[in-house]
Amino acid sequence: MGLLFGLLLGGLALLVLTPKYLWLEKLVSEKGLFLKAQTVRENLWEVQYYGGEVYYREAKAGNFTVVRIKFLPLPELTWRCSSGWFKVSPNLPEVGLSLEASDFSCSSLFRKGEWKVKLLREEVFGRAVLYGVKIERGLPAEELERLTLRFEGKRVYATVEAGGLRLSGEGRINWKLADPFSSTIYLTLKGQGFTLTLKGPLFSPRAEVR
């Protein structure tokens, strides 16, 4: 009993004394995520990153004024920039996560976004609207003016507005809460003679236009 008590005290002391941002960076880097901040501050309850950029697999994914990661009383992540915010928190009482954003303009992939989405073990529910989504080629526009997504379990429904065009369609999402970065999406939208297909990894899908 004395040995067990000593191990528990030692583990608690290690958690308190070891800089939390070090093991946080190790944890997210294993998934290909990297935060580069000008300043990092922490206390017993949270870690705060100020003035920096987020990279995913060496490609810039966005920037931030502050990213705050709370541990107690409940874990929570808040990402803020010059305009808007994005928050991730536990979805209680179910097992899952709640994602909310308002006027979020920190991403390199789109100009602005807002969403309220619930992520369960293998299903997704909610709605997201993204403005100014960047595309490479295929449509008579350099970006999607508006992309609206509606998630209903394993199904996803979408509409796109770009260059005077309006496309709509549906598809499926293979979501894995235990390993989000292995999740995939397949979505086909049609309209006015064009077909837009998004498929592949959820966080970096490949777009095909014909």
> How would DSSP label each residue in 118-183?
EE-SS-EEEEEEEEEEE--SSSSSSEEEEEEEEEEETEEEEEEEETTEEEEEEEEEE--TTSGGG-
User: pTM of the prediction?
Assistant: 0.81
- Domains in the chain: boundaries: 19-79, 118-210
Q: Which two tokens stand for residue 177?
A: 């809460």
Q: Which two tokens stand for residue 77?
A: 């992540």
Do 63 and 106 form a contact (C-beta atoms < 8 A)?
A: yes
Q: Which two tokens stand for residue 62?
A: 């966005």
Do 79 and 64 form a contact (C-beta atoms < 8 A)?
A: yes
| pLDDT value, residue 5 | 39
Q: Which two tokens stand for residue 208?
A: 């095909």
Question: pLDDT digit of tens for each residue in the chain (210 aa)?
Answer: 333 333 333 334 444 555 666 667 776 777 778 889 999 998 888 889 999 999 887 888 899 999 998 887 888 999 998 889 999 998 877 788 999 999 999 988 889 999 999 999 999 999 999 998 876 555 555 678 899 999 999 999 999 998 788 999 999 999 998 888 889 999 999 998 888 888 888 877 777 777
A 10 A CB-CB count for 137 gives 7
DSSP tag of 107: B
Q: Which two tokens stand for residue 12?
A: 């608690």
Do 79 and 86 form a contact (C-beta atoms < 8 A)?
A: yes
| pLDDT value, residue 58 | 80
State pLDDT tens for residues 74-131: 889 999 988 899 999 988 777 889 999 999 999 888 899 999 999 999 999 999 999 9
- Phi, psi torsion values for 188, nearest 5 degrees: -120, 125
* Residue keyed to tokens 């808007």: 84
Do 170 and 160 form a contact (C-beta atoms < 8 A)?
A: no
| pLDDT value, residue 169 | 96
